[in-house]
Every structure is written in structure tokens, then in C-alpha cells.
């Protein structure tokens, strides 16, 4: 990666987005299967995480529109984190399944970490742009 690309552990944000989207997608499908395909809501991680991966892929395919794609991806990251905020209520509900708790935990933790990385990359990019203008 060039010095003009924000990276985490040597991976660019589009690459991280694809990986995060894949994790959410795989978990959404797995949760749906583990719920005996009884509830489409088990696939919520796929519905909010899939676009993260898609935006990461589009950012790589159309670098001239990367800024827009990554901002859309960040919004979906926030949605994941917000969805996971129900975790304390889910844990305190005696009728909650382990699967439901796991899904909310993944949404909260991975969504929050991903959103944090997005914000850090946006800050880094702004600082780079300001440094180049100076």
C-alpha cells in the first residue's frame, strides 16, 4: 500500500470492508440455518453487513467513487453497531437464545470496531489532504 492509503495491519479500508462484510454475511446465513430457517430476522447481519462488503468491492473497482462508497459503508457500520445496542436487553431476557445473544454481540462489537476504523480513516485522509495543501 502506498503512503496515501490508510491501512490497518497492512489492509486498506476497502479490503477491511470486504472482510467485515463477508463475516457479517457468513454469520447471517449461519444464524438463519442454525435457527432452523424459522426466522428471516436471523439474517439481519447479512442485510446490514452485506452492503459493507459490496461497498468495499465497489471502492476497489471504481476508485474515483471510493469516497462515496466508503461513506455509505460507514453508515452501514453504524447501523450494525446500533442494532447491537439491544445486547443488554437481550441478555436480561430469560427467553433469549444463545444465537440471539451471539448475533447482537457480533453486530455490536464488529460494527463498532468497523465504524471506529472508518472514522479513523476519514480523519487520516483529511489530515493528508490538509498537509498536501499546506
Grid coordinates belonging to 43: 439474517
User: Looking at the predicted structure, is the pLDDT value of residue 81 above 50?
Assistant: yes
Q: How many residues does the chain have?
A: 134
Structural domain boundaries, residue 82: 9-133
Is there a domain that residue 3 lies in?
no
pLDDT of res. 37 = 86
Residue 115 grid cell? 465504524
Strands, E, within the chain: which ranges?
7-8, 11-12
Helix axes 44-61, 66-84, angle to 10 degrees: 160
Rg (CA), the chain: 17
40 in a domain, yes or no? yes
pLDDT at 89: 94
pLDDT, tens only, 33-70: 999 988 899 999 999 999 999 999 999 999 999 999 99
Facing residues of 12 across strands?
Answer: 7
CATH of the domain at 29: 1.20.1440
Residue 62 placed within a domain: yes
- Asked whether residue 121 is assigned to any structural domain, the reply reads yes
Amino acid at each position: 500500500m502506498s503512503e496515501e492509503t490508510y491501512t490497518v495491519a497492512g489492509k486498506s479500508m476497502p479490503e477491511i470492508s470486504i472482510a467485515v462484510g463477508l463475516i457479517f454475511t457468513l454469520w447471517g446465513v449461519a444464524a438463519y440455518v442454525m435457527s432452523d430457517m424459522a426466522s428471516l430476522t436471523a439474517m439481519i447481519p447479512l442485510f446490514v453487513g452485506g452492503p459493507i462488503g459490496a461497498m468495499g468491492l465497489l471502492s476497489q473497482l471504481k476508485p474515483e467513487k471510493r469516497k462515496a462508497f466508503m461513506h455509505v459503508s460507514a453508515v452501514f457500520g453504524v447501523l450494525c453497531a446500533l442494532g447491537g445496542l439491544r445486547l443488554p436487553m437481550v441478555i436480561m431476557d430469560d427467553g433469549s437464545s444463545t444465537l440471539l445473544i451471539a448475533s447482537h454481540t457480533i453486530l455490536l462489537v464488529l460494527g463498532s470496531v468497523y465504524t471506529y476504523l472508518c472514522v479513523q480513516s476519514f480523519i487520516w485522509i483529511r489530515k493528508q489532504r490538509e498537509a498536501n495543501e499546506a
